[in-house]
A and B are shown apart, each in its own frame.
Chain A
Amino acid sequence: MPQWLIDYWALMGFGPTGWGLSMLRAAGMTIAVSSAGFALGSVLGALAAWGRLSGSRIAAVISATYTTVIRGIPELLVIYLVFFGGAVVLGWIWRTFWDGEGFVSLPAFVAGFIAVGICNGAYQAEVFRGAFRTVARGEIEAAAAFGMPRALAFRRIVAPQVLRFALPGLGNCWQLCLKESALISVTGLVELLRQSFIGGRSTRDFFSFLLTGAALYLVITTVSSALFAAAERRALRGLKRA
């Protein structure tokens, strides 16, 4: 074995002084916080898309403002806002409305996924909106002609198709979410970027740590994009390609 590989294994292995386990744990944290952020983003995105399409003027304005503002400012700024401002706001609500005492604090994980979710929701809203547009008018009209209630038509006709058409876009959003999650490192959450940085600082070998971190990100993005591709194939089966 070449010397550099032996050195690398001593550094990144799973022995008592190896950082391998820490790095893997941090990769797990990246996946966890991204997943939570993505889920929140889906809720916010669906709400915002619904707001745009609902026909209510107020809802449309709120949704449009949300998606435009969030997509126009850096994610890092949103993370700072949620991390530093979130606890202030929550504490105020807690003390004012529940007559509580002390503080309500937002753990870094929660602050992190909320920030990522807020950012991702703005992009998911556009994906959902675009997907909804591709659902043929005629199908909704046909459902109505059958006497299907709107809620049922949404559940049976609209939602499945929106989800199906939204899948490729959602795959993109997930990738975005993963990469944005790296910025949560500024809140102190030990995810992949922060762990790489801590290791680099502590051993003065940034290159090995950051490269390992980057490789782990690549593994995560590759595996997840394969999963999305499989889901897409499944969702689109039986659909004629244009």
Chain B
Amino acid sequence: MLFRRSFVRLAAAGAAVVASGSQPARAQQRTIRIATEGAYAPWNFTGPGGQLLGFEIDLANDLCRRMNARCTIVAQDWDGIIPGLTAGRYDAIMAGMNITDRRLEVINFSRVYAAGPHAFGTMPNSPLRNLPGAGRTLSFATEEAEIRALLDQIRPLLRGRTIGVQTATTNSAFLAQFFANAGATIREYRTTEEHDLDLAAGRLDAIFAAVTAMTATAEKPEFRGLAPSGPLLSGGILGRGVAVGLRKADTDLKAAFDAAIEAALADGTIRRLSERWFKTDISPRS
């Protein structure tokens, strides 16, 4: 047979079973295919020999256990990850994806399972090493005016500089909104790993990325010294936190994921996984 048919079978009782978490397996196990990028350490990445590793891989397995589902995790390039979901190639996305209005037009999200700030990242010799606002953590939700004032200070400094960002992300949307006319060259990369490499090679003066990913990258010897520059930002155009991406029609699956994430937050699993992979707790505050 040429193509694989996949019906997302959702037992009506599924969500209830998940919520209680402890009941023995009932009915038939559902199969959930989860897509991840496999190139976004430490969220999700590809280890030697090609196996998928990272925070989201561990979390996905934990959530699936709670949902009493059989899960297969597949790697899918970032730029095709949402079309792949809507086309039914898989049933869920766990790839460090933030909830945004733009994405909500096309897909739905579970409740947030992680949240972290975003920032410019530079190597020690970069001319953008000391952007104003260093050490401050600001959210568009509550401190938008302050952020805008800071960005106005940063804008002239970027003139003539080259900034790298992953394509089709909240980060690229942020740069497009605030720095499109700053006289800087904005290069879009298919993966963050690629812009990290170009930053270390000196092709880029800065990147704009999630601080969690930046911190993990800085631990590798070739990227020693990679650090955020300027303020750490979150909220608004940078998204409302990382969640499982789901098709709009799959409301039962959303209910199941919501319940499982709730349980994993409640019993400290997400905090534990977060501390293992990020060395800090990035479980959502709300």
Contacts and interface: CB of A to CB of B under 8 A. Distances in A.
A130 B197 CA distance: 48
Contacts of A19: 48-49
Secondary structure at the B interface, as helix, strand, loop or mixed, is mixed
Interface string A1-37: 0000000000000000101011000000000000000
A203 B48 CA distance: 8
Contacts of A21: 49
Given A84-B80, A88-B87, A186-B77, A105 B191 contact: no
B194 to A, nearest CB: 8
A106 interface: yes
B77 A188 contact: yes
Interface residues of B, number: 33
Interface in B63-99: 74-77, 80, 83-84, 86-90
Given A19-B49, A188-B76, A201 B3 contact: no
Interface of A is mostly: helix
A101 B250 CA distance: 13
Interface stretch (B39-47, B148-156, B165-173): B39-47
A198 B222 contact: no
B89 A87 contact: yes
B2 A110 contact: yes
B4 interface: yes
Interface stretch (B5-13, B125-133, B263-271, B274-282): B5-13
A17 B45 CA distance: 16
Contacts of B197: 201, 204
Given A17-B48, A186-B77, A104 B39 contact: no
A135 to B, nearest CB: 34
